[in-house]
Amino acid sequence: MGNRAIIAFKEPKAKRNDKQIPCIYLHWNGGRDSVESFLEAARRLDVRSTDQNYSMARLTQIISNYIGGTLSIGCSTVGDWALDFLDNGVYWVDNLEIYDRTDTYEGYEEQKNHNQETMVQEILEINEPIFGGK
Protein backbone atom coordinates (compact mmCIF):
# COMPACT_ATOMS: atom_id res chain seq x y z
CA MET A 1 0.00 0.00 0.00
CA GLY A 2 1.20 3.48 -0.76
CA ASN A 3 0.35 6.73 -2.45
CA ARG A 4 2.63 6.12 -5.40
CA ALA A 5 3.52 8.34 -8.33
CA ILE A 6 6.33 9.14 -10.71
CA ILE A 7 7.58 12.63 -11.51
CA ALA A 8 9.13 12.46 -15.01
CA PHE A 9 11.32 15.22 -16.40
CA LYS A 10 10.91 16.33 -19.99
CA GLU A 11 14.10 16.01 -21.97
CA PRO A 12 14.55 18.37 -24.94
CA LYS A 13 15.15 15.57 -27.48
CA ALA A 14 13.10 12.85 -25.79
CA LYS A 15 9.76 11.59 -26.94
CA ARG A 16 7.08 10.60 -24.43
CA ASN A 17 7.58 6.92 -25.18
CA ASP A 18 11.34 7.21 -24.55
CA LYS A 19 11.90 4.86 -21.62
CA GLN A 20 15.15 6.62 -20.65
CA ILE A 21 13.43 9.79 -19.38
CA PRO A 22 14.69 10.49 -15.83
CA CYS A 23 12.17 10.30 -13.02
CA ILE A 24 11.59 10.36 -9.29
CA TYR A 25 9.50 7.57 -7.77
CA LEU A 26 7.40 8.48 -4.74
CA HIS A 27 5.95 5.71 -2.61
CA TRP A 28 4.24 8.26 -0.34
CA ASN A 29 3.07 11.82 -1.04
CA GLY A 30 2.27 11.07 -4.68
CA GLY A 31 -1.02 12.99 -4.80
CA ARG A 32 -1.19 16.12 -6.91
CA ASP A 33 -1.55 18.28 -3.79
CA SER A 34 1.83 17.01 -2.53
CA VAL A 35 3.61 17.06 -5.89
CA GLU A 36 2.50 20.62 -6.61
CA SER A 37 3.69 21.64 -3.13
CA PHE A 38 7.11 20.08 -3.74
CA LEU A 39 7.41 21.88 -7.07
CA GLU A 40 6.32 25.21 -5.57
CA ALA A 41 8.85 24.85 -2.76
CA ALA A 42 11.57 24.14 -5.34
CA ARG A 43 10.63 27.32 -7.23
CA ARG A 44 10.72 29.36 -4.02
CA LEU A 45 14.11 27.88 -3.19
CA ASP A 46 15.31 29.14 -6.59
CA VAL A 47 16.13 25.69 -7.92
CA ARG A 48 17.46 26.08 -11.46
CA SER A 49 14.51 24.96 -13.55
CA THR A 50 16.00 25.07 -17.04
CA ASP A 51 18.37 22.13 -16.50
CA GLN A 52 16.21 19.03 -16.06
CA ASN A 53 18.94 16.88 -14.51
CA TYR A 54 19.75 19.58 -11.97
CA SER A 55 16.04 20.15 -11.27
CA MET A 56 15.53 16.44 -10.68
CA ALA A 57 18.47 16.25 -8.28
CA ARG A 58 17.41 19.25 -6.22
CA LEU A 59 13.72 18.24 -6.23
CA THR A 60 14.75 14.77 -5.02
CA GLN A 61 16.72 16.42 -2.22
CA ILE A 62 13.79 18.66 -1.25
CA ILE A 63 11.36 15.73 -1.15
CA SER A 64 13.82 13.47 0.69
CA ASN A 65 14.50 16.12 3.31
CA TYR A 66 10.75 16.49 3.83
CA ILE A 67 9.92 12.77 3.94
CA GLY A 68 13.01 11.76 5.91
CA GLY A 69 14.17 8.22 6.53
CA THR A 70 15.88 5.95 4.04
CA LEU A 71 12.95 4.57 2.02
CA SER A 72 9.98 5.72 -0.04
CA ILE A 73 11.76 7.64 -2.82
CA GLY A 74 13.82 6.54 -5.78
CA CYS A 75 15.52 7.91 -8.90
CA SER A 76 15.68 6.07 -12.18
CA THR A 77 14.12 6.25 -15.63
CA VAL A 78 10.48 5.84 -16.61
CA GLY A 79 11.32 2.56 -18.35
CA ASP A 80 12.37 1.02 -15.05
CA TRP A 81 8.79 0.99 -13.78
CA ALA A 82 5.63 -0.96 -14.54
CA LEU A 83 3.29 2.03 -14.55
CA ASP A 84 0.08 0.11 -13.86
CA PHE A 85 0.77 -0.06 -10.10
CA LEU A 86 0.83 3.71 -9.56
CA ASP A 87 -1.89 5.25 -7.41
CA ASN A 88 -1.45 8.72 -8.93
CA GLY A 89 0.12 8.10 -12.33
CA VAL A 90 3.00 9.94 -13.96
CA TYR A 91 3.40 13.70 -13.63
CA TRP A 92 5.28 15.13 -16.63
CA VAL A 93 7.33 18.15 -15.53
CA ASP A 94 9.16 20.89 -17.40
CA ASN A 95 10.60 24.01 -15.73
CA LEU A 96 9.28 22.72 -12.39
CA GLU A 97 5.70 22.85 -13.72
CA ILE A 98 3.36 19.93 -14.38
CA TYR A 99 2.46 20.02 -18.07
CA ASP A 100 0.74 16.62 -18.34
CA ARG A 101 -0.38 13.60 -16.36
CA THR A 102 -0.66 10.03 -17.60
CA ASP A 103 -1.14 6.50 -16.35
CA THR A 104 -3.88 7.06 -13.79
CA TYR A 105 -6.34 4.20 -13.49
CA GLU A 106 -9.98 4.10 -14.53
CA GLY A 107 -12.16 5.76 -11.89
CA TYR A 108 -9.21 7.68 -10.41
CA GLU A 109 -10.21 10.54 -8.08
CA GLU A 110 -7.82 13.37 -7.31
CA GLN A 111 -6.49 13.50 -3.76
CA LYS A 112 -7.02 16.74 -1.85
CA ASN A 113 -5.60 16.02 1.61
CA HIS A 114 -3.17 18.93 1.95
CA ASN A 115 -3.54 22.69 1.91
CA GLN A 116 -0.88 23.70 -0.58
CA GLU A 117 0.43 26.81 1.19
CA THR A 118 0.61 25.02 4.54
CA MET A 119 2.51 22.12 3.00
CA VAL A 120 4.84 24.45 1.06
CA GLN A 121 5.68 26.25 4.31
CA GLU A 122 6.42 22.92 6.03
CA ILE A 123 8.70 21.88 3.15
CA LEU A 124 10.46 25.27 3.19
CA GLU A 125 10.97 25.16 6.95
CA ILE A 126 12.93 21.92 6.56
CA ASN A 127 14.79 22.89 3.38
CA GLU A 128 15.65 26.58 3.74
CA PRO A 129 18.52 25.99 6.21
CA ILE A 130 19.98 23.37 3.86
CA PHE A 131 19.60 25.54 0.77
CA GLY A 132 21.06 28.59 2.53
CA GLY A 133 17.69 30.25 2.54
CA LYS A 134 15.94 32.96 4.35
- Are β-strands 5-9 and 90-94 bridged in parallel, bridged antiparallel, or unpaired? parallel
pLDDT single digits (tens) 63-99: 999 999 999 999 998 888 888 889 999 999 999 999 9
What pLDDT is stored for residue 20 in this prediction?
78
Q: What is the value of pTM for the model shown? A: 0.91
Q: Looking at residues 26-40, what average pLDDT do you find?
A: 96
DSSP code, position 66: H
Least confident of 16-25, 64-73, 120-129: 16-25
Work out the average pLDDT over 20-40. Answer: 94
- The two counts, helices (H) then strands (E), for the chain are 3, 5
Provide the percentage of residues in the chain whose pLDDT is more than 70: 92
Residue 12 CA, distance from chain mean position: 19
Average pLDDT over residues 89-111: 90
Burial class for 2, CB neighbours closer than 10 Å (0-12, 13-18, 19+): middle
pLDDT class of 126 with cuts at 50, 70, 90:
very high
Please tell me the predicted confidence (pLDDT) of residue 123: 98
Residue ranges covered by each domain of the chain: 5-127
Calculate the average pLDDT of the chain: 89
pLDDT of residue 105: 83
* Residue 93: strand, helix, or coil: strand
Whether pLDDT at 133 is above 70:
no
